[in-house]
């Protein structure tokens, strides 16, 4: 069965992408998957969020498991764009799978600088993370401010001709933001990032962890978003939220997604991509027969 997908100008061998921040920067990927398994099952690799300067990330604890979910507060630990290009990108390219670099900025100018840095690199595309706070707007998330998102995507579009996706937050004016991304000529949107969540770590004294919730717990919520958004816009929607089986992936595809990303599944088992693609193929074969 031909599983390839075309998202505007980006051709993927399968509709499965590894979501940002759930497979590191590829350092250990080939310890668990052979080059052939990577090429044949993974449509695209979306890098960890890359910022201009290196980030150490948040102090521990960074994780908390909830029923069927995982709260994380990693704090965008990453080596910064210069080190990423020098040390990590060459290895990523050797996997011979389209590389999409997830960009993290604190202001529009940061995203522009990051996109400029990657202009000469042979990468398949960019994914803009708009769930982060915009320092110029007093820390208000980009995703809650449609005007800023419009300006951001337009500015990047001016300098970036290749595939450009925007990863939406599931919170805030999501439908409006989706339409704005289309208007600003993004090639696709990823629906969606993690849900803001909180865990009580200790009762007395009260100790909490705030972070993003992922995993099967959020699947019905994001599936609804994908379903509604894909009816409202014409650019491809990439579903991302709680996919851990081929059946989950199929549900996203049936509800309007053109492709999908897996995240928490990679943390459960680094070979999840293979399992999901196999199950999806079997299910699709069943549907066709």
- Looking at the annotation, which residues are catalytic? 132
Nearer to other proteins, 102 or 230 (CB): 102
| Footprint on this chain of other proteins (rule: CB under 8 A) | 21-24, 27-28, 31-32, 56-57, 59-65, 67-70, 72, 74, 77, 215-216, 244, 264, 266-271
Rounded Cα distance between 244 and 216, Å, is 7
Residues 6+ apart with CB under 8 A from 13: 3, 4, 39, 40, 42, 43, 97
- C-alpha distances in angstroms, 286 versus 19, 232, 277, 280? 27, 30, 14, 10
Q: How far is the CB of 244 from other proteins (least distance, A)?
A: 7
Q: Across the strands, what pairs with 58?
A: none
Task: For other proteins, give the closer residue by CB, 163 or 252.
Answer: 252
CA dihedral 247, 99, 192, 116 (to 10 degrees): -170
Q: Judged by CB, which is closer to other proteins: 9, or 210?
A: 210
Pick the closer one to other proteins by CB: 25 or 166.
25
Closest residue by Cα to residue 169 from 188, 150, 193: 193
Using the minimum distance from each CB to other proteins, give the nearer residue, 10 or 18.
Answer: 18
Partners of 259 in beta bridges: 238
**Cis, bond preceding 274 (omega within 30 deg of 0):** no
**Smallest distance, other proteins to C-beta of residue 289, A:** 26
Q: What does each C-alpha distance from 101 to 177, 245, 286 come to in angstroms?
A: 21, 25, 35
């Amino acid at each position: 069965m031909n599983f390839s997908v075309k998202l505007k100008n980006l051709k993927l061998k399968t509709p499965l992408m590894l979501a940002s921040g759930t497979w590191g920067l590829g350092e250990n990927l080939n310890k668990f998957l052979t080059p052939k398994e990577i090429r044949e099952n993974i449509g695209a690799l979306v890098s960890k969020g890359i910022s201009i300067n290196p980030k150490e990330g948040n102090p521990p604890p960074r994780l908390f498991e909830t029923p069927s979910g995982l709260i994380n507060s990693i704090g965008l630990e990453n080596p910064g764009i210069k080190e990423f290009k020098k040390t990590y990108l060459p290895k990523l390219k050797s996997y011979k799978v389209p590389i999409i670099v997830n960009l993290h900025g604190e202001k529009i100018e940061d995203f522009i600088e990051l996109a400029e840095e990657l202009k000469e690199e042979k990468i398949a595309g960019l994914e803009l993370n708009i769930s982060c706070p915009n320092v110029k707007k007093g820390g208000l998330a980009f995703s809650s401010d449609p005007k800023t998102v419009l300006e951001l995507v337009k500015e990047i579009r001016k300098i970036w001709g290749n595939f450009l996706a925007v990863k939406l937050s599931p919170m805030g004016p999501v439908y409006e933001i989706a339409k704005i991304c289309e208007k600003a000529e993004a090639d696709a949107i990823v629906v969606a990032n993690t849900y803001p969540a909180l865990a009580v770590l200790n009762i007395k004294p009260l100790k909490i962890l705030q972070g993003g919730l992922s995993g099967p717990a959020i699947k019905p919520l994001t599936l609804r978003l994908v379903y509604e958004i894909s009816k409202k816009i014409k650019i491809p929607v990439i579903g991302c939220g709680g996919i851990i089986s081929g059946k989950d992936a199929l549900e996203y595809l049936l509800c309007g997604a053109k492709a999908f990303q897996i995240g928490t599944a990679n943390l459960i088992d680094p070979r999840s991509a293979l399992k999901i693609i196999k199950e999806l193929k079997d299910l699709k074969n069943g549907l066709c027969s």
